[in-house]
Amino acid sequence: MKLLLNLVRKDFKRNPAITTALTVFLILAALLMAGGLRVAGTMISAYDGLNQKALPPDYLQIHKGEYDSAALDRFAASQDNIQDFLTVRMLTINNANIIYHGETLEKVLMDNSFVVQNQGFDYLLDMDNQIATVKDGEIGVPVYYADTLGIATGDVITLKKDDYIKELKVTTIIRDAQMNVAMTSSKRFLISPADQEVLSLHMGEWEVSFEFLLKEGVDTGILEQAYAAANLPANGVAITASLLNLFNVFSYGLVAMIIIVISLLLIFMAMLCLSFIIRATMADEQTAIGEMKAIGFPGKAIATLYQLKYQILMGVAGIIGYLGAIPFGNFFAEAVVRYCGTGSNPGLKWVLPFLGLLFLSGMVAWGCHRVVKKNLHSTVVELLQGAGGRRREGHYILPSSGFKHTNLTIALGELTCKWREYGVILLVFIFVAFLMLLPMNMKQTIQDPSFITYMGVGESDIRIDIQYSSQLTQQQERVLAVLENDPDIEKYAIYKNGYVQAENDQGEGVNIRVESGDESVFPLAYLAGQAPVGKNELALSSMNATELDKKVGDELTVVYGGETMNLTVAGIYQDITYGGKTAKAAIDFNNQDVEVYILYLSLADGVDLDLKTNELRGALPDIKATPVPSFIAQTLGGIVDNLSRVEAAAMVIALLLSALVTVMFLKLVMAREHRDIAVKKAIGFTNRDIRIQLGIRLLVIQGLGILVGTVLANTLGEGIFSLMLSSMGATRMTLLIQPLKAYLICPAIQLLVVAITVIGGTRAVKHYHIKEQIME
Amino acid sequence: MIKVEQISKSVKGKSPVGNMAIETSILKEISFEIGRGDFVAVMGPSGSGKSTLLYSVSGMDQVTAGRIVFDGINLTEMNEESLSRLRLNKMGFVFQNAQMLKNLSLFDNLILPGLVAKKEKAQVIRNRVRDLMIRMDIDELGGRDIREVSGGQLQRASICRAMINNPEVLFLDEPTGALNSAATDQVLDILEALNDEGTTIMTVTHDPRVALRAKKVIYIRDGEITGEKEFPVGGDREQALEDWLKRV
């Protein structure tokens, strides 16, 4: 063993650059693997812990207006699978009436409800995950606002409508298992029952949520169908636990998922590099291996000798990766801990990374063993013949008319002979380009104004919501009057939003949110068909079309206000708002059934978006005006923030990886070609010529890698992005690419990093002594 | 043409016992001259420093002290870039084991230095290589892989490559060390002919047969010249060399 360790130590000394680069590579893979699993462990524990304490409902139905509570009680009593039932009264207050630090919450897209603590289940928890309590004059603020607006305990929230003002002191920050994440578009403030009653006399609108907790193992679908069949109050959206789970997993899990995927790809790359290095080392040491075999050194001991080094490296990388994953994982899991707490099983964040690293070590050990064993199969004679047994690389032909660009011609010629050697590094460069571009393109797409088309609307600049008032119609008329006379506004359209009942293919009734208005003002690109024309047509969001099993040309029966209508599906579009389930039809909603009036408007050229938004907010204090880019960002919640983090991390990892692999590869190539380098020097090539030739070879491969990586990021990446957003309702995404950034700046940075690494890495050519290299 | 003035070379290392830092002297204040058209053979026992001397004189190895003046230019003061250009245009080099680039055919290996130098048109260079190959009796092998030709053929090809840019001086390191007797005679005939045509030659050798073709022999032992003698044409050169080698 001592002998083996000695040999390993000597090998480290002989190839410090390769060994260091490989170690960093393995550390990076271990760090990401352990870090991703730490985030996952923290997330599982935190999310589970929050749900155990808060007991969110399995099914809830929002309703506005009158309802028969006795009928609901009878229904709950008649269903064996219901464990508990709750009617939650929510006082929804316009954001313009909620003031914090002298500013209204108009900038915030969220709908804000003021609720009292529930009894039995669906508890709002404090930051210690205990059931939160507030006294009169106190308020519990959602952790989302603590996070995004910086609201803290001790602050004051003012509620103001006309002359009425109510101040509430923030005494607790609320964790809400149902509406915690940015992707759920409503938030709940906790107030005392007395405050809720008083407030309701002056502002806001009552909404109720009928919430059901099911017995263990009962499928939500059964209750959903039973509820619809019982003809119970349901003029709002119905939400299932699985939809909430989806939002939560998407919000909390996205980063962990991306890190783990990157780490898996990195492990794949590390395995390729390891295999390449082992093969290169063993090919160069065939004579030594032959001699060891010839003097009777057991094959197992030779295999151990060559594997030991990499196992030691993996051990070191594993320890560093595990320790490094603590701050790394904590950084990325910070949000989930803040929103959910440390949870029910804090040990998971220690165990999962450990298991992950065991898996990684196992993979490395197995990979090494396979390559070493394969290379040890040769006979002693074959091994002693050494390089003679190596695969021939073939010839390239010098140009008959002489050199125009000597180094370029030679580098390209050599590349055509040695292309097999470059397979690994080509894969790494493809991966690097892909890794850098995909998050960047995703972010670019989400931030582009045209992304609004995935929200079921054509391109526009500002969205105005008019809701939560008993005077919606009057408000709406006032808004229209302002817009009509404003020369800064190029065009606008108003849409009434309400619910109708439709029948799915099993004949069950489902509530569908319908938008009614002039669809020609902001034309939308339809996945299939076109915008509905007249009163007999409707368009469905793709999620609704799938769920109702309808395609263009099919008929759908809808019921509104007691009237049954047979509408033809004219078009199918993508929409990620309202859980992806919306429709467009010319339904003549009664004013009291309009949940919200939404206006979209386009500004004239040269009008500043933010200034105009503020101006509208000032002129129309009761409405919610949101610039479309903020609307997109807020609808997608933390995805944009997460993508920014991932984009930055991906760029650092990708560039580091490029540099590391370039160093490693250069060292191996130079070691393998030391004789050729010496010959070139002897016949008159300068060190600079040789370095340029090595550089050109790598940069050409990198160029190819960037090309393939870019194509993959735009094709495969588009698929990945569509898959990510399909759960939200957008099934066919087109990645929007900023050509300057994606096709020029990004490749230029990658090429620059590799070029600088080549300049540094080939410096050793100067020290390649012709005599020593040739006589060796 | 080449003036070697008081050159010394030493390398730093560690002593086998005690792992102490030591400095080993390889060449010790060596001086000699090579005139245009000379054929100089450097002989000496293994480890005497003769290869180091050859590589130093050709500018491929750096000396610790002294000067090497080639056609009036001090090689020890030239940078790597200029030395490379000098090697390309004015020197030819032949190694003990013929060293060629694996990714070129034998013919392309031979024309490469000519194309890199860009002194003449490609066609002129190709024609010259063909002529040289005919002269060296390897004209049938041009398209072959370098692993498909014998050691003697490869060594003759190395001489072709070294001659492609019409060098002023040809350096050879044990040119016949890896050859059989017949191949050795063939190579030596060629070298003698080239020298007769005016090419200056400096070669390192163990082989008295090589030294016998040289006009001057330098004997080196432990990094110092212990003998230097010209062997004029005529008389029993073999016996004279043998006697001299016994003395030095």
**Contacting residues of B for A680, CB less than 8 Å apart:** 101
Please answer whether residues A95 and A624 qualify as being in contact, where contact means their C-beta atoms are separated by less than 8 angstroms: yes
Let me know the angle formed at the C-alpha of B201 by B197 and B205, rounded to the nearest 5 degrees: 135
Between A137-146, A224-233, B35-44, B166-175, the lowest mean confidence (pLDDT) is in: A224-233
pLDDT average, residue stretch A486-503: 89
Tokens coding A48: 């589970």
A693–chain B nearest CA distance, Å: 14
If pLDDT is split at 50, 70 and 90, which confidence band does A404 have? confident
The larger pLDDT score, comparing residue A545 to residue A642, is at: A545
Please answer whether residues A601 and A460 qualify as being in contact, where contact means their C-beta atoms are separated by less than 8 angstroms: yes
Q: What is the pLDDT of residue B129?
A: 93
Question: Residue A389 pLDDT more than 60?
Answer: no
Question: Residue A532 pLDDT more than 80?
Answer: yes
If pLDDT is split at 50, 70 and 90, which confidence band does A774 have? low
Q: What is the pLDDT of residue A306?
A: 76
Tokens coding A761: 């890495």
How far apart are the two ends of chain A, measured CA to CA in Å?
30
Q: What is the pLDDT of residue A188?
A: 95
Q: How far apart are CA B232 and CA B214, in angstroms?
A: 9
* Helix (H), strand (E) at residue B84: helix B80-90
- Asked if A686 and B115 come within 8 Å (Cβ–Cβ), the reply is no
If pLDDT is split at 50, 70 and 90, which confidence band does A596 have? confident
B239–chain A nearest CA distance, Å: 32
pLDDT average, residue stretch A562-585: 87
Dump pLDDT digits (tens) for A409-467.
999 999 999 888 888 889 889 989 998 998 888 888 877 777 777 777 778 899 888 87
- Reported ipTM: the value is 0.86
Mean pLDDT of chain A: 85
Mean pLDDT of chain B: 89
Q: What is the pLDDT of residue A301?
A: 78
Q: How far apart are CA A736 and CA A645, in angstroms?
A: 19
A288–chain B nearest CA distance, Å: 21
Q: What is the pLDDT of residue A4?
A: 65
Question: Residue A380 pLDDT more than 70?
Answer: no
pLDDT average, residue stretch A129-135: 95
If pLDDT is split at 50, 70 and 90, which confidence band does A388 have? very low
Q: How far apart are CA A275 and CA A664, in angstroms?
A: 13
User: Smallest Cβ distance to A771: which of B60, B118, B161?
Assistant: B60
The larger pLDDT score, comparing residue A265 to residue A125, is at: A125
**Contacting residues of B for A401, CB less than 8 Å apart:** 122
The larger pLDDT score, comparing residue A453 to residue A771, is at: A453
Q: What is the pLDDT of residue A752?
A: 95
If pLDDT is split at 50, 70 and 90, which confidence band does A775 have? low
Between A139-153, A358-372, A554-568, B199-213, the lowest mean confidence (pLDDT) is in: A358-372
- Asked if B104 and A684 come within 8 Å (Cβ–Cβ), the reply is no
- Asked if B87 and A683 come within 8 Å (Cβ–Cβ), the reply is yes
Between A115-124, A224-233, A380-389, A414-423, the lowest mean confidence (pLDDT) is in: A380-389
If pLDDT is split at 50, 70 and 90, which confidence band does A284 have? low
Q: What is the pLDDT of residue A387?
A: 47
- Sequence-distant (6+) residues with CB within 8 A of B157 are B98, B100, B106, B109, B110, B133, B136, B138, B141, B149
If pLDDT is split at 50, 70 and 90, which confidence band does A118 have? very high
Question: Residue A390 pLDDT more than 60?
Answer: no
Q: How far apart are CA A539 and CA A623, in angstroms?
A: 28
Max mean pLDDT range (B26-40, B142-156, B171-185): B26-40
Q: How far apart are CA A665 and CA A672, in angstroms?
A: 10
User: Smallest Cβ distance to B145: which of A395, A399, A675?
Assistant: A395
The half-sphere exposure of B54 on its side-chain side, counting CA atoms within 13 A, is 32
Dump pLDDT digits (tens) for A309-333.
788 888 999 999 999 999 988 888 8
Residue to test with chain B: of A410, A669, A683, A763, most B Cβ within 10 A: A683
* Percent of the residues in chain A that have a pLDDT greater than 90, as a whole number: 33
Residue to test with chain B: of A13, A391, A395, A397, most B Cβ within 10 A: A395
pLDDT average, residue stretch B131-159: 89
Q: How far apart are CA A340 and CA A49, in angstroms?
A: 7
Q: What is the pLDDT of residue A378?
A: 67
pTM: 0.76
Q: Which residue of A has its CA nearest to B170?
A: A683
Which pairs count as long-range contacts for A144-151, CB under 8 Å and 24+ apart, including other chains?
Answer: A144/A110, A144/A180, A144/A181, A144/A182, A144/A187, A144/A339, A145/A100, A145/A187, A146/A173, A147/A335, A147/A338, A147/A339, A148/A108, A148/A182, A149/A100, A149/A105, A149/A108, A151/A100
pLDDT average, residue stretch A367-385: 71
If pLDDT is split at 50, 70 and 90, which confidence band does A202 have? very high
Question: Residue B170 pLDDT more than 90?
Answer: yes
Between A38-52, A115-129, A727-741, the lowest mean confidence (pLDDT) is in: A727-741
Q: How far apart are CA A115 and CA A549, in angstroms?
A: 37
Question: Residue A681 pLDDT more than 50?
Answer: yes
Residue to test with chain A: of B26, B51, B85, B99, most A Cβ within 10 A: B99
Question: Residue A470 pLDDT more than 80?
Answer: no
pLDDT average, residue stretch A471-475: 77
pLDDT average, residue stretch B10-36: 85
Q: Could you write out the three-class secondary structure of A8-62? A: HHHHHHHCHHHHHHHHHHHHHHHHHHHHHHHHHHHHHHHHHHHHHHHCCCCEEEE
Dump pLDDT digits (tens) for A647-656.
888 888 889 8
A406–chain B nearest CA distance, Å: 7
Dump pLDDT digits (tens) for A88-115.
999 999 888 999 998 888 778 788 999 9
Dump pLDDT digits (tens) for A175-187.
999 888 877 778 9
- Sequence-distant (6+) residues with CB within 8 A of A99 are A105, A157, A158, A159, A160
* Helix (H), strand (E) at residue A6: helix A2-14
- Asked if A395 and B80 come within 8 Å (Cβ–Cβ), the reply is no
Q: How far apart are CA B219 and CA B241, in angstroms?
A: 11
Residue to test with chain A: of B89, B96, B110, B112, most A Cβ within 10 A: B112
Q: What is the pLDDT of residue A354?
A: 94
Max mean pLDDT range (A112-126, A465-479, A538-552, B14-28): A112-126
Q: What is the pLDDT of residue B18?
A: 67
**Contacting residues of A for B84, CB less than 8 Å apart:** 681, 684-687, 689
